[in-house]
A and B are shown apart, each in its own frame.
Chain A
Amino acid sequence: MRKHRGDRIILFTTFILLIAGLIIIYAIGPMRANFLNAAYGGDISENHFFIRQLVNVILSIAAFVVAVKLPYETTKKLGKWILLAGIVLSVALLVLAKTGSSLAKCELGACRWINIGSFGSLQPAEFLKLGLLLYLSQLAASRKADGTLNKSDFWLPAGVASVISLALVVVVQKDLGTGVVIIAIILATIFASGVEMKKFALVMGAILVAAVGVIVTSPHRVERVRTFINGDGADTYHIENAMIAIGTGGLTGVGVGNSVQATGYLPESINDSVFAVMGETFGFLGLTAVVVIFVVMLTRIMRVAELAATEEQRLVAVGVFAWVAVQMAVNIMAMTGLIPLTGITLPLLSYGGTSMMFVAVALGVSYQLSCYTKREKELAQKKFSSGHLKKRRLNENSSSRRR
């Protein structure tokens, strides 16, 4: 397939979301610094969070550019290695945590990050997301070509990679939120690859059983579900305050820098709860715009899938779609009290480096793939012809009956 102009809308929406995130961090970063200084007697400067987020955005743009420029054939080959890196890093993290090394960064008993000096920290789970996405796409595409998609040739390696990744993230790192995103990537890729519905339903069932098992074996997750249903506990405070922030915003919001909820009432105001602060700041119109921008971006990514030159590229685009869509939806639905809190970031908007960079890479890959899609005209022609063909057959049938 010859290279043509990429989908500028993917580029554009990515850029808008990054800028919106920067604006909000610029507005509430000082409040966060102030709160942390007051609470823990620290000495964080007012611009601390904005500057770091600016660095994150620049790095993410760089990552995006690399993902766009790096030939897909190369990226494809890296997939396996990225997955392997994710597994190795996760195991390394586990070892570091067990040995009590300061390299393992833990919060509330969950060790999810590896400290990498003054630069910040690295989240191995993000490697797993991207690696698994690329690996499963390749595997499914090649097995489909072989005609063994519904055989153990596909299910065995796919299952092993998925179970290992999920076990590391959900059980070892206790990160159900990221687990949900990984499940979404796995399910979407398999689903789109065209596996038999019966087999797919079986996978869904297995995941459901595993999910219930994971929840009931962990008192902390049972508690989260319980408090979500009963409306009490620490998460309830978090959700309640997220909704206070969103509700206070009204139609047009209180304006940049006027968020009161961000002055310490709303937990994780710059990370997981940034959507709520945006709601307070920009109101219903602002949040709807954010959701619409996401939907437009995702529709265009799905379009890349629809027009993909190869089966593999199609599955990669679907995987990215699932990744961004589910991470966005899970974050926003938790903030609006529709589902329990899981603690994941809002793609491109939340403060935090690893998450933003990996989403940028995924979007960069999608953008590159959008340069190699089939022309819409071709597709339209094909659609038209196949439709025409069907119609004729139908006509034939009816006429034959009449006879």
Chain B
Amino acid sequence: MDEKRLKFLKIMLYVVAGVIVGRLFQIQILQKNEWVAKAEAQHTFENKIPAKRGEIYMMDGSEAEPVVMNEQVYTVIVDPFEADERKIKETIFTEGMKNYLTVAEANEVFADKTRRYFVVAKNVPRELAQKIREAEPGAVWLRENTKRVYPEGQLAARLLGFVNEDGEGQYGVEAALNEELSGKDGMLKTVADVNHVALSIGKDNVKVPAEDGKNVVLSIDKNIQAGVEKILAQKMAEFGKDQASALVMDPRDGTVLAMANLPSYDPANYGNVESAEVYVNRVTSDPYEPASVCKGFTFATGIDLGVLTPETVFYNNGYEMIDGWQIKNSTYGRSDLLGPTTIQNAYNWSLNTGSIYALKLLGGDPNQITVKGRKILYDYYVNHFGLGKLTGIELFEAEGLINDPEVGDGRDSMYANMTFGQNLMVTMIQVASGYSALVNGGEYYTPTVVKGYMEDGKLVEKEKAGPVRRAVSEETSTTMRRMMWGTRELMRAQGIDRAGYDVGGKTGTAQVIRDGAYSMDEWVATYVGYGGATGQMPQYLIMVRIWKDGETTGAEQYAQPVFNDISNFMIDYLKIKPGV
């Protein structure tokens, strides 16, 4: 009987062993692929190989100089659960680390000892990180990352933008060219241990190298940029205005040489601003009403179509009644300008009645505004001069708005207003590009702010794009320069415009819409003008916008002086020799 019992125990062993081997067969042979898949899902890690973000250069004369660079910095992370509080205090909470700590006291890190991850310092420079590493405090990680540094400080900050904590470009060039600048991250696919440390065990490890971002060279000349910003700051202080933007470009090919917006901010500490408004590059992304500078577009349209010349005479009544609205000249009170006068005078003295007369002539009827006239003006504004639509510059831009010439009520008064730059929304870059076409012989160029790329320390220039279209005829352009030159008689008389130089321009004082109506006591001042040696094509085009909310800022008084300074600065900087 006892032998049977032993046999029973033995049989039980065999049964259990059989079950085990059967189970092993099931797991290891039948279900193998399932388990391998689960293992792979668990063991395989894709590590990003971060691409190096491209740096940003500006021109320094003919050389490219970096204005936005990368610096290797470290984030210091402590594991409060494992770390020795005394050691952490001694090695990390030092005097030298003060500016980088994210917590004031070491105690805070150890308030909750169960935590395994605590960022104690950010943007720690390499030397300090090295010191911490050598001190071996234990349970501390130094995570490498890059930080943008700005050797030129706040220069062109609103053009350049910044890079946020996640490494994404925000505003300006950093945002608009984010893709080019950030490059393409590489990938390391590897079998790793439970702490995600790569193992040499796997045979399917994959490595795709990172493609570093491009080093973008802007066409901006940092000296011009600095000069323009300095002049803006001076004039703002002098005039007591708090907002100003300026744009300098080469009208001959649309190259932007300076794009300034004040006040600026420190991109290295971009968080220290009162409002995000200070990040906005107004030149391209803030549409507004530039007012009378648009008279240049209106007159050029008429001249180009042969319906008027600067000498064309019209009767200036001081105001016009259209759609039941009285549209006045800003020189309403000056009786000497009343009566018959020329288009050139209308341009010089910015007579709204003159540009309205031009609109009437466009429609073929000197006595009234017609659909035909409105349609022609719309066509020239939008399709010839590029107003109210994206210019195609490499930055973020706003489109603005030019209302339809036919659909809608009150089109006559609206278009009458549009002849002198109100009742429409355009950006500075649109106006400046259109004016470039007016003065450069009549060809429209897409404005550009990118000159090329730095490759292996050498500037590789982007191929220059030709003109996009003919905006006006060469003769019209010549006439427009003459008209713009004509407005600056006083400047020449005062010696502001020096002999041997051809400098022309136009003011624009815009009423600002407040609560749905044009305000009588809040104006924005604009000036657009060109300059160069007499007898030559203009070498620069400058557009200025200056204002202060709630104040009347007249163009002649405030914008023109800024232009004057920048114009003379350009002549000096470009060393333009006087012509004859």
Which A residues contact B (CB, under 8 angstroms)?
31, 34-35, 38-41, 188, 191-194, 240, 243-251, 258, 260-261, 263-265, 279, 283-284, 287-288, 291-292, 294-295, 298-299, 302, 305-306, 314, 318, 321-322, 325, 329, 332-333, 336-338
Contact = CB atoms under 8 A, between A and B. Distances in A.
Interface centre among B27, B29, B43, B138, by most chain A C-beta atoms within 10 angstroms, is B27
Contacts of A258: 201
26 contacts: A41-B138, A188-B9, A191-B9, A244-B38, A247-B35, A247-B38, A249-B28, A260-B43, A260-B199, A261-B39, A263-B199, A264-B193, A264-B194, A279-B27, A288-B24, A291-B20, A292-B17, A295-B17, A302-B10, A306-B3, A321-B13, A325-B13, A329-B17, A329-B20, A336-B24, A338-B20
Contacts of A314: 2
B27 to A, nearest CB: 5
Contacts of B24: 246, 279, 284, 287-288, 291, 336
A344 to B, nearest CB: 15
B197 A284 contact: no
A291 B17 contact: yes
Contacts of A260: 39, 43, 191, 193, 199, 201-202
Nearest to B23: A336
Contacts of A40: 82
Contacts of B201: 258, 260
Interface string B39-73: 10011000000000000000000000000000000
Interface string B132-163: 00000011000000000000000000000000
Interface centre among B3, B43, B194, by most chain A C-beta atoms within 10 angstroms, is B194
A246 B19 contact: no
A42 to B, nearest CB: 10
Given A260-B201, A264-B194, A338-B19, A41 B13 contact: no
B9 A322 contact: yes
B496 interface: no
A385 to B, nearest CB: 15
Interface string B196-225: 010101100000000000000000000000
B25 interface: yes
Contact of A194 (B2, B139, B191): B2
Given A192-B2, A260-B193, A247 B14 contact: no
B574 to A, nearest CB: 62
Contacts of B5: 191-192, 194
Contact of B195 (A35, A287, A318): A35
B6 interface: yes
Contact of B6 (A192, A263, A292): A192
A244 B39 CA distance: 6
Given A191-B9, A295-B17, A299-B10, A265 B29 contact: no
A259 to B, nearest CB: 8
A244 B9 CA distance: 32
Interface centre among B14, B20, B42, by most chain A C-beta atoms within 10 angstroms, is B20
Interface centre among B9, B29, B201, by most chain A C-beta atoms within 10 angstroms, is B9
Contacts of B3: 306
Given A35-B194, A38-B195, A284-B24, 14 more contacts: A31-B193, A38-B197, A244-B42, A246-B28, A249-B28, A250-B29, A260-B199, A264-B195, A279-B27, A288-B21, A294-B17, A306-B3, A333-B19, A336-B23
Contacts of B551: none
Nearest to B34: A247
A248 B39 contact: yes
B31 interface: yes
Interface centre among A192, A244, A288, by most chain B C-beta atoms within 10 angstroms, is A244
B13 to A, nearest CB: 5
A248 B36 contact: yes
B321 interface: no
B16 interface: yes
Contacts of A295: 13-14, 17
Contacts of A302: 6, 9-10, 13
A325 B202 CA distance: 36
Contact of B27 (A188, A194, A246): A246
A263 B197 CA distance: 10
**6 A-B pairs with the lowest CB-CB distances in the bound complex, closest first:** A247-B35, A264-B194, A263-B193, A284-B28, A248-B39, A194-B2
Contact of B36 (A38, A247, A291): A247
Contacts of A288: 21, 24
A336 B27 contact: yes
B487 to A, nearest CB: 76
Contact of A287 (B13, B28, B31, B32): B28
B43 A251 contact: no
A49 to B, nearest CB: 16
A264 B195 CA distance: 8
Contacts of A192: 2, 5-6, 9
Contacts of A291: 17, 20-21, 24
Contacts of A332: 20
A247 B31 CA distance: 7
A211 to B, nearest CB: 18
B23 A321 contact: no
B517 interface: no
Contacts of A38: 193, 195, 197
B490 interface: no
B345 to A, nearest CB: 84
B400 to A, nearest CB: 59
B107 to A, nearest CB: 21
B139 to A, nearest CB: 6
B32 A247 contact: yes
Given A35-B195, A41-B139, A247 B39 contact: yes
Contacts of B43: 260, 265
A210 B35 CA distance: 38
Contacts of B6: 192, 302, 305-306, 318
A288 B17 CA distance: 9
B120 to A, nearest CB: 17
A243 B27 contact: yes
Contacts of A294: 17
Nearest to A200: B5
Nearest to B193: A263
B1 interface: yes
B9 A251 contact: no
A35 B20 contact: no
A363 to B, nearest CB: 16
Contacts of B14: 295
A41 B139 CA distance: 7
Nearest to A194: B2
B193 A329 contact: no
Contacts of B202: 260
Contacts of A284: 24-25, 28-29
B32 to A, nearest CB: 5
B32 A250 contact: yes
A41 B1 CA distance: 60
Contact of A318 (B9, B16, B20, B191): B9
A38 B31 CA distance: 33
A43 to B, nearest CB: 10
Given A40-B82, A264-B195, A329-B16, A243 B9 contact: no
Contacts of A245: 39
Interface centre among B1, B10, B25, B36, by most chain A C-beta atoms within 10 angstroms, is B10
Interface centre among B5, B25, B31, by most chain A C-beta atoms within 10 angstroms, is B5
B25 to A, nearest CB: 7
A76 to B, nearest CB: 20
A38 B197 CA distance: 10
Contacts of A336: 20, 23-24, 27
A193 B5 CA distance: 9
A39 B193 CA distance: 12
A244 B194 contact: no
A196 B17 CA distance: 28
A260 B45 CA distance: 13
Contacts of B38: 240, 244, 247
